[in-house]
Chain A
């Protein structure tokens, strides 16, 4: 059974200029022990999606419709207290702004054990400390730094501490929101390796959010490409990577150097993402799409199944693929 099933999820924010459609009709599912990556440019709704699953949206955020089934239960019908129990125990999160994700006035070890005590009050101090020691070892942090304060850590160390913290309650799912964005390439690589081994050793499912498709392709079994609040292409890594079908995915792939080092022509995507307060009726990418036709702008786009494990939200693809 799938661990997480998201069906037709729409999330928005109440803003001064009106209701902003940050995520529209997103559906996906994630099996236990698998990893799913979301890519897309800044503002396409990746963080909003992650926060919605945790039900941690800011006060002006609203889940308008859809279902989020975790282990078969709809998270949207849970009470706040039930949700509190699920957070970190079942679903942990690594935030985008990891540099400030630790409280400056508490020791790192206390912030990790706090999560353990909150969800397993029966743990005594020794057990909890033993557990933190093991986690530190796993993420490659020196044990004698456990009692430090966050400001005594480097950025990379903080990020590892947060990964250790995310693992503290052995969650079934970890949502990692651009965990490596602020780090240099070498540390970034190390953290990526750790993320992979964490998945192997703990069997935890991961939702990995990034704007860098090559990172996501490196880590994840499945890839979801997002554009302007919508999922536009979704499928197994190899299929999306080898056979990108949505014009936006193609553009994304060509605008990043590949991990293997092959130099391809970097192609920036001209134009800007549409306004999410009044999103266009038709395909949202049509204004920037080189393959768009008139019907793209006048009709809402529909999902097309390329293979059972690869779908795309595009009018044109149907024609191409059909050819």
Chain B
């Protein structure tokens, strides 16, 4: 079937892109001025432990060999030890990944769905109050400086009103309480997630709303919309069943395109709200010269973005039969 071929092709592309990223990262970390050993090996280690690590990463070998070691270590999951935590990097990353995915995907999906829905309504009321309010709102939230918004959110909703916690992802007492069920724990996470989620959502939904709105306005001029009217379909069916599915396609594309850029905001949001995710780890490791952790965080973020892109592509193919067949 065509869809399989399409996904297969995308997988190959993704693999190639990933390989390029892998190589660039290697070069970036090795060719930067300074001693590579000092970057991969914690200066506080005993000389014996250090020697072991140097051997494992092939740091005493020529560059090409180092690269092969690097690949081997990557595919076997050896990223070295974090200077700061003194733990294997893989372990740290592995713990942080689900938190990032939870916050990131939820915010993307939420902002895309709400953006599509509101954009549809706005286009339907083009030029009326509803439309003007929505468009203005979208423009304003879209252009707000994210760290500022995050701080305002904390100041208003956590500090002043006290509705939400200021930091973190869980309430430790609840998670230590053996009586607490899964449901209670989930609600606790949701409670902590509300502010960072709201921040990311506010930053992102505006652009999706604007794209959907203009795409709807274009779609409504299409001939098949006229056919729908001639068929005696109700305006609601025409809007929701005929115009919206076509108009949403550019939004899906834009979600895919914006994924890589939203990493930035994701990392900032995680940092401001001390959300224990990879983005925060990245910011932290870079500012603390924790090279092994930084390298692994970069790689993982690249993987997350590439895979989400794949998901978006599959979704697109599912929505647009011209790609599927």
* A interface list, Cβ under 8 A from B: 54, 56, 84-89, 92-93, 95, 97, 99-107, 114-115, 118-119, 148-149, 151-152, 162, 165
Contact = CB atoms under 8 A, between A and B. Distances in A.
A118 B228 CA distance: 11
Contacts of A165: 231
Contact of A102 (B224, B233, B237, B322): B224
A61 to B, nearest CB: 12
Contacts of B39: none
Interface in B223-242: 223-224, 226-234, 237, 242
A95 B225 CA distance: 12
Nearest to B221: A58
A169 to B, nearest CB: 9
Given A95-B223, A97-B223, A104 B322 contact: yes
Contacts of A85: 232
Contacts of B325: 148-149, 151-152
Nearest to B224: A103
B254 interface: no
Contacts of B319: 105
Contacts of A103: 224, 227-228, 242, 246
B222 interface: yes
Contacts of B228: 103
Contacts of A88: 230-232
A162 B231 CA distance: 11
B245 interface: yes
Grouping DSSP codes into helix (H, G, I), strand (E, B) and loop, the B interface class, with mixed when no group exceeds half, is helix
Contacts of B227: 95, 101-103, 162
B223 A118 contact: no
A317 B60 CA distance: 105
Interface residues of A, dominant DSSP? mixed
Given A84-B234, A87-B229, A151 B321 contact: yes
A100 B231 contact: no
B320 interface: yes
A104 B237 CA distance: 16
B231 A56 contact: no
Contacts of B232: 84-89, 115, 118-119
Nearest to B244: A105
Given A85-B232, A99-B223, 13 more contacts: A56-B226, A56-B229, A100-B223, A100-B224, A103-B228, A104-B322, A105-B246, A115-B232, A118-B231, A118-B233, A148-B325, A151-B321, A151-B325
A165 to B, nearest CB: 8
Contacts of B320: 104-105
A149 B234 CA distance: 23
Nearest to A86: B232
A99 B223 CA distance: 9
Nearest to A98: B223
B2 to A, nearest CB: 11
